[in-house]
Amino acid sequence: MTLTSSEGRWSVGTDITDNKVPAGPIEDAWDTRKFELKLVNPANRRKHTVIIVGTGLAGGAAAASLGEMGYNVKAFCYQDSPRRAHSIAAQGGINAAKNYRNDGDSIYRLFYDTVKGGDFRARERNVYRLAQLSVDIIDQAVAQGVPFAREYGGLLDNRSFGGAQVSRTFYAKGQTGQQLLLGAYQALERQIGKGTVEMHTRHEMLDLIVIDGRARGIVTRDMVSGAIDVHMADAVVLCTGGYGNVFFLSTNAMGCNTTAIWRSHRKGALFANPCYTQIHPTCIPVSGDHQSKLTLMSESLRNDGRVWAPLKRGDDRSPDQIPESERDYYLERRYPAFGNLVPRDVASRAAKAVCDEGRGVGPTGLGVYLDFADAINRVGQATIRERYEGLFEMYNRITDENAYKTPMRIYPAIHYTMGGLWVDYNLMSTIPGLFVGGEANFSDHGANRLGASALMQGLADGYFVLPATIGDYLAQTPSNTADASHPDAQKAVADVKDRIGRLLRPNGTRTVDSFHKELGKIMWDYCGMGRNEEGLRKALDRIPELREEFWQSVKVLGTNDELNQSLEKAGRVADFFELGELMCIDALHRNESCGGHFREEYQTEDGEAQRNDEEYSYAAGWEFAGVGAPPVLHKENLTFDYVHPAQRSYK
């Protein structure tokens, strides 16, 4: 029985009750589940084919592990090599409850911090499992030869990151993401060399094939020849990363998209918490409308930099002209306890508030200062150079400014998407046989991801969770991979070809990028750092109009049967239009503020996020009901037996 909301933009369906989370004490949850999972006899594994879309930390680790176990794996990525997935850009580090610093860290504390940091919107047992597996991830990475930073004694070095009270972050200078991904990539290439994994680079998944209610294959486009192919399998795994590019400007790579998960959503996979998007506070501000993407400066800079903005509005003097008395170190003012190390969502909102008062700096007035003068006086420029050289160099390369002399200008930017396809404890979506791992699923970070925990989640899913749970699913399904000529498979191919035809036909007046920029602007203004009911309604009116105009007058030259980058972009932007609408509906329906989702109507008197735990302590799983048709909300109520919800305070 579906209730329709007051203005009919969505309807409410039955609650999600079976998330397959094991009962019993939380410490044993994952171990009992591993024991319960059915196994596939090693001799039979060759008969099962598993498709893995995406070769980032989640996909790469899963493909390598399943290949090692003897499964027949087909892996896909849109880049020209599996090593280039966007996990490569992670700089800060990866958390693990190793407690090498003996500063009181433990699996339980990592679990506690992550649930609290997620603003109490994640499943406790998923987060506990994440904390448990974090230990094994570091062992695996070190054994693979990942060159983590070491102390002179030869053991692993740790640093504190993202406001954590303990030093639990392992890092490899400024390339933690790259080095961890190379560990998984090398294990994957080993399996490709042995023939257990078949790698398809420059292939984009354009649709999911569902037969008798089970995911049995995917439709892909070869981005070089344009060939539309069908790949059949016993199980499909999506590890396709985040959808931050719906805002056009984000720290994601240019190719990051939502196509794979969105197409699966249209085939019946619930999409959970789409409006939970994370804003990273320390990014390089926009320098003009030619900007194609934003560059992130590692959060570790906030360990030594002091954030400030001029006290007076419109004070456009150069920073060294503004005396201390006329500077507002607003983070230290508003949050004496944490100061410049407040979590990301808090720091981002504070910067936006300052700029909205007209006290922003830089040519666009959208920026605040991150000043290292005091740190340089305190520990000397050499120490600062040793800690952050790569970052200051990159900042200089982009802005031509010397951050050792003049303070850095920073402004928040879209960075990570906590939302994604809904999955149960076994990481299976609501479509049997369709698994989702890494940033593409919704599970572990609630409404706000802590720094250095996405790499942990991607690898936990890829190395340890998926190989076990997929085995359980395969053990209970017949291993007769459906034939590509199956009518449902051919229908999916026909849909893909028809859609490509509709993208090429208009040959209209506006380029794909111009539409993407306009959609991004709408999403940033009305569904970005600060959201309100009126703005979200305006967006929900404008997006369908723009979508129609897109299908009528987008200009895509060339044909499908060649390398056609405009056609690729057009396909992605078309899906972003539909996702953007669902994000606004999700933001509109959630009358509270939590983590990355800040509704201006719901804040405490001193501007903090005001959660409404009585009514909104659930994960919102949305069911697709047709383009433009009101989606159906299925709630998964969250219970917190171990970490009791409290108002997050960083004062």
Partner 1 sequence: MIEQAIAPAKPLVLRTSIGKKYAMATSGIILVGFVIAHMVGNLKFFFGPVHFGEYATFLRTMGSPILPHYYALWGLRAVLLAAVSVHIWAAYSTTRQSKAARPIPYAHKDTIQASYASRTMRWGGVILLLFIVFHILDMTVGVAHVGAFKETTAEHSTVYANAVSGFKHPIVTLAYTLAMGALCLHLFHGIWSMFQTFGRGSGPREQMLRRLAATISVVVCLGFLAMPWTIMFGGRP
Partner 2 sequence: MNLTLHVWRQPNADVPGRMMTYQANAISEDMSFLEMLDVVNEGLIANGEDPIAFDHDCREGICGTCGLVINGIAHGPERATTTCQLHMRHFKDGQEIWIEPWRARAFPVIKDLVVNRGALDRIIASGGYISVNTGAAPEAASIPVPKANADAAFDAAACIACGACVAACPNASAMLFTAAKITHLGVLPQGQPERHSRVIAMVDAMEQEGFGSCTNIGECSAACPKEVPLGTIAQMNQDLLAGSLNRS
Ligand X SMILES: Cc1cc2nc3c(=O)[nH]c(=O)nc-3n(C[C@H](O)[C@H](O)[C@H](O)COP(=O)(O)OP(=O)(O)OC[C@H]3O[C@@H](n4cnc5c(N)ncnc54)[C@H](O)[C@@H]3O)c2cc1C
- Cα–Cα distance for residue pair 25/282, rounded to 1 Å: 39
Cβ-Cβ contacts under 8 Å for 99 (sequence gap 6 or more): 105, 106, 166, 168
With contacts defined by CB under 8 A, how many residues of the chain interact with partner 2? 80
- Cα–Cα distance for residue pair 446/127, rounded to 1 Å: 9
- Cα–Cα distance for residue pair 632/13, rounded to 1 Å: 6
458 contributes a contact to ligand X by CB under 6 A = yes
Cβ-Cβ contacts under 8 Å for 542 (sequence gap 6 or more): 522
- Cα–Cα distance for residue pair 144/171, rounded to 1 Å: 15
193 contributes a contact to partner 1 by CB under 8 A = yes
354 to 383, contacts with partner 2 by CB under 8 A?
none
Which residue number, 65 or 426, has a Cβ lying nearer to partner 2?
65
143 contributes a contact to partner 1 by CB under 8 A = no
CA angle 79, 201, 181 (to 5 degrees): 60
Q: Please report, in angstroms and rounded to a whole number, the separation of the first and last CA atoms in the chain.
A: 45
400 to 419, contacts with ligand X by CB under 6 A?
416
With contacts defined by CB under 6 A, how many residues of the chain interact with ligand X? 43
Figure out which of the listed residues 13, 29, 56, 371 binds ligand X, where binding follows CB under 6 A. Answer: 56
Residue 344 known to be catalytic: yes
651 contributes a contact to partner 1 by CB under 8 A = no
Please report, for residues 174, 272, 355, 446, 643, the alpha-carbon distance to residue 121 in angstroms, rounded to integers and kept in the order given. 30, 11, 29, 4, 11
In one letter, which amino acid is 54? G
The span of 79-87, 191-199, 520-528, 597-605 binding ligand X (CB under 6 A) equals 79-87
Give the three-class secondary structure for 229: strand
205 contributes a contact to ligand X by CB under 6 A = yes
What's the count of helices (H) and strands (E) in the chain, helices before strands? 18, 22
244 contributes a contact to partner 2 by CB under 8 A = no
Which residue number, 287 or 647, has a Cβ lying nearer to partner 2?
287
Which residue number, 189 or 328, has a Cβ lying nearer to partner 1?
189
460-479 mask for partner 2 (x: CB under 8 A)?
Answer: ---xx--x------------
Cα–Cα nearest to 170, from 94, 99, 283: 94
φ/ψ of residue 171, rounded to 5: -150, 160
Smallest gap from Cβ 168 to partner 2, in A, equals: 13
Figure out which of the listed residues 26, 50, 52, 58 binds ligand X, where binding follows CB under 6 A. Answer: 58
Name residue, tokens 């036909």.
505
Figure out which of the listed residues 11, 167, 291, 532 binds partner 2, where binding follows CB under 8 A. Answer: 291
Tokens of 618: 């659930």
**Binding partner of residue 552 among partner 2, ligand X, partner 1, none, CB under 5 to 8 Å per kind?**
none
Rg (CA), the chain: 24
Smallest gap from Cβ 196 to partner 1, in A, equals: 12
- Cα–Cα distance for residue pair 575/573, rounded to 1 Å: 5
Q: Identify the active-site residue in 344, 547, 572, 648.
A: 344
- CA 502 from centre of chain: 30
55 contributes a contact to ligand X by CB under 6 A = yes
145 contributes a contact to partner 1 by CB under 8 A = no
Smallest gap from Cβ 194 to partner 1, in A, equals: 7
303 contributes a contact to ligand X by CB under 6 A = no
CA angle 66, 122, 21 (to 5 degrees): 55
Give the three-class secondary structure for 45: helix
Cβ(620)–Cβ(629) under 8 Å? Answer: no
Strand partners, 409: 369
The span of 34-42, 149-157, 343-351, 446-454 binding partner 2 (CB under 8 A) equals 149-157
42 contributes a contact to partner 2 by CB under 8 A = no
395 contributes a contact to ligand X by CB under 6 A = no
Cα–Cα nearest to 187, from 96, 315, 271, 83: 83
85 contributes a contact to ligand X by CB under 6 A = yes
Figure out which of the listed residues 19, 72, 95, 179 binds partner 2, where binding follows CB under 8 A. Answer: 179
The span of 54-62, 65-73, 208-216, 222-230 binding ligand X (CB under 6 A) equals 54-62
Figure out which of the listed residues 20, 38, 150, 194 binds partner 1, where binding follows CB under 8 A. Answer: 194
In one letter, which amino acid is 365? G
User: According to DSSP H, which parts of 118-219 are helical?
Assistant: 124-144, 176-194
454 contributes a contact to ligand X by CB under 6 A = yes
Q: How many residues does the chain have?
A: 651
Which residue number, 194 or 312, has a Cβ lying nearer to partner 1?
194
Cβ(114)–Cβ(96) under 8 Å? Answer: no
- Cα–Cα distance for residue pair 49/72, rounded to 1 Å: 5
Tokens of 12: 């409410």
**Binding partner of residue 104 among partner 2, ligand X, partner 1, none, CB under 5 to 8 Å per kind?**
none
35 contributes a contact to partner 2 by CB under 8 A = no
385-424 mask for partner 2 (x: CB under 8 A)?
Answer: ---------x--xxxx------------------------
79-98 mask for partner 2 (x: CB under 8 A)?
Answer: xxxxxx-x-xx--------x
Give the three-class secondary structure for 36: helix
505 contributes a contact to partner 1 by CB under 8 A = no
**Binding partner of residue 56 among partner 1, ligand X, partner 2, none, CB under 5 to 8 Å per kind?**
ligand X
Cα–Cα nearest to 274, from 418, 415, 419, 417: 419
The span of 223-231, 235-243, 358-366, 478-486 binding ligand X (CB under 6 A) equals 235-243
Residues recognised as catalytic: 344
Residues that bind ligand X (CB under 6 A): 53-59, 76-79, 85-87, 89-94, 176-177, 204-205, 239-242, 251-252, 257, 259-260, 296, 416, 438-440, 452-455, 458
Residues that bind partner 1 (CB under 8 A): 190, 193-194
